Amino acid sequence: MKDYLCIGPVPSQETCAQVGTEDYQNKAKKECLAFARQLQRAFSNPPAGCSVAVKPFSHDFGTYYEVVIFFDDRNEESVKYAYNMENNTPENWDAAAVEELTGIKSKVTT
């Protein structure tokens, strides 16, 4: 059966757009898409049944967005991949994500 784990809106040591702030939806989606692509770079070759996506969630203050890893809970390889991603999520943006978000090449190492 299809299941998912929430990975977060951005790497854990980075700041993110806050629900209720000006232009939140556009900023949050941009950050989440950059983070999803970073995760795809960091955790290449997903097994069948795994995919990284941006998922909306309802909240008292409006809709917020997070990156999730969808996986097939009947496929052991898929489950291991998803939990490995959750347990080893990058703490900071990589150089490609920084460039994507700012349009400026960074000296951040991957």
Nearest to 7 by CA among 87, 107, 105, 110: 87
Please report, in tens digits, the pLDDT of each residue of the chain (110 residues total).
Answer: 999 999 999 999 999 999 989 999 999 999 999 999 999 999 999 999 999 999 999 988 789 999 999 999 999 999 999 999 999 999 999 999 999 999 876 665 54
pTM value?
A: 0.91
Query: What ranges do the domains of the chain cover?
Result: 2-102
Q: How far apart are CA 97 and CA 49, in angstroms?
A: 25
Would you call 78 helix, strand, or coil by DSSP?
helix
Token couple for 107: 């000296």
